[in-house]
Chain A
Amino acid sequence: MAWGRRFWLRLQTLFRRDQIAHRLDDEIQFHLDLQIGENIAAGMDPEAARHAALRAFGNRTVLKEETRETWGWTWLEQIGQDLRHGARMLRKSPVFTAAAVLTLTLGIGATTAIFSVVDAVLLRPLPYRDPQRLVSFFEDLGEVGYPRTRVSPSTYLDLKAQTRVFEDVAAVNETGFNFSRDGSGARQLSGALVTYNLFAVLGSQPLIGTGFLPEEDRPGASHVVLLSFSLWQSEFAGSARIIGQTIRLNDEPYTVKGVMRPGFSFPDKEIGPIQVWVPRAFTSEELAARTARYLIAVGRLRPGISLTEANTDVRVLASQDIRQYRNDMLGVSRFFAEPLQERTPTMRNADWSC
């Protein structure tokens, strides 16, 4: 079991180094004392006996050093010495130390902060299926100062018709709901009005229950709602019996169809996570208002279709749109698609960019 003994000794020399060094001193002192005793017995006076013993032994400092080296871990010991030396030097010049620490703190802090933003906005994949195939749409009204506005309902329908390049396109806009239960005080919920296909386009199905049906985003359809995971937890104690129950939003009954997964909050915005999703039905007046640009449109590219290719079709659409509707108002207007970002543009800050 030679390797077992070796391993044990290595552990000892690593973790009980001081004790072992102390015992080496004892070992050497014992040796010297015996030699001095022998020299005295041979007739030397004590002082001469001591000198002779030391001479016969050799340079104790060097020999101890050589012995320590046989224990291994010398490299670790040297790193420790270097660190201690460094700490002493830093203590001696506090101004330099403070400047160095401040520089490092600011540097690391700034780098971390920038990376966090870049990671959240650019690097971390979106929590959706095949997120690289998701795009969001904008209208470029650069001539009047809005290079990245949202799109109008009619534009949304036009984009949805581009089935050569898009599997499907969904639209959503934010709204607020007054929510009340059992006669207790109402509270404001942040909600989203969505086309029925939003969850299919994103590839995020409800955790429990089902998504919306095609007939549910038409005028006159019965009221239905999907809840966020956190609302379900806080207001309904996470009970699965919530499915099929009725809750009151803006004093009207809505049937709960399902609960979304934790963290799902499209369209995520600075104002806070969305708590309820309700299908939206476009009225004919809404569809006619081609300049009411309040919709976030999100599309899923067909497999194998590149963003550039999709944008070619979108631009053709834009030029038709200009010819038919806008040539009197704006010289240049065009639509374009971009990879979907975590955060979607707000209405007011139309030229939001990252």
Chain B
Amino acid sequence: MLSVDNHSMGKPSDLVQGTLDLLILKTVSLEPKHGWAIAKRIQQVSGEVLQVQQGSLYPALHRLEQKAWIKAKWKETETGRQAKFYSLTAAGRGQLEKEAANWSRLSEAINLVVETT
């Protein structure tokens, strides 16, 4: 699962279901990536705060592929090995916009609650 690296608590807490989908869709929307690169990218961009348990990416990737939101293609990497590269489909782009909008609404709402004194 995806966890937030919560240093003060010492123990990561699980993120809400569906958030991983959003992160994957966003990550592959720029260019095709293989699983490991997606995991690395999420960690780097979030400033190492979001720690993807790497293996949990794969059920999510295959589920999104079955929904036809992402498509997969086996291609050669720079090192000459075959790897499975995922990229966004047209349907996936629509889904990404929907989930991103949902996320914005949710986080704004939470912000409002938390910051209201």
Contact = CB atoms under 8 A, between A and B. Distances in A.
A66 B83 contact: no
Interface residues of A, number: 30
B110 interface: no
B36 A35 contact: yes
A239 interface: no
Interface string A47-87: 00000000011111001101101111000000000000000
B18 interface: no
Contacts of A56: 53-54
A313 to B, nearest CB: 76
Contacts of A69: 59
A2 B91 contact: yes
Contacts of A98: none
A6 B66 CA distance: 6
Interface stretch (A21-29, A101-109, A212-220, A332-340): A21-29
A30 B59 contact: no
A86 B81 CA distance: 42
Nearest to B83: A30
B34 A60 contact: no
B89 interface: yes
A5 B55 contact: no
Contact of A58 (B55, B71, B90): B55
Q: Which of B58, B59, B63, B71 has the most CB of A within 10 A?
A: B58
Contacts of A27: 34-35, 58, 83-84
B68 A9 contact: yes
Given A23-B84, A27-B35, A70-B63, A5 B56 contact: no
Given A30-B34, A34-B36, A63-B56, A2 B62 contact: no
A30 B53 contact: no
A72 B66 contact: yes
Q: Which of B36, B69, B82 has the most CB of A within 10 A?
A: B36
Nearest to A9: B66
Contacts of B65: 9
Contacts of B90: 2
B98 interface: no
Contacts of A24: 58, 62
A286 to B, nearest CB: 85
Given A2-B68, A2-B91, A5-B89, A58 B54 contact: yes
Contact of B71 (A5, A31, A63): A5
Closest 9 CB pairs of A and B: A58-B55, A2-B91, A66-B59, A70-B63, A2-B68, A5-B68, A63-B55, A57-B55, A70-B62
Given A2-B89, A26-B82, 19 more contacts: A2-B67, A2-B68, A5-B68, A5-B89, A9-B66, A9-B68, A23-B74, A24-B62, A27-B35, A28-B55, A30-B36, A30-B84, A31-B36, A34-B36, A58-B56, A59-B55, A63-B56, A70-B63, A71-B62
Interface of B: 34-36, 39, 53-56, 58-59, 62-63, 65-69, 71, 74, 81-84, 89-91
21 contacts: A2-B69, A2-B91, A5-B89, A6-B67, A9-B65, A9-B66, A13-B66, A23-B74, A26-B82, A26-B84, A28-B58, A30-B34, A30-B36, A33-B81, A56-B54, A58-B56, A66-B59, A67-B59, A69-B59, A71-B62, A72-B66
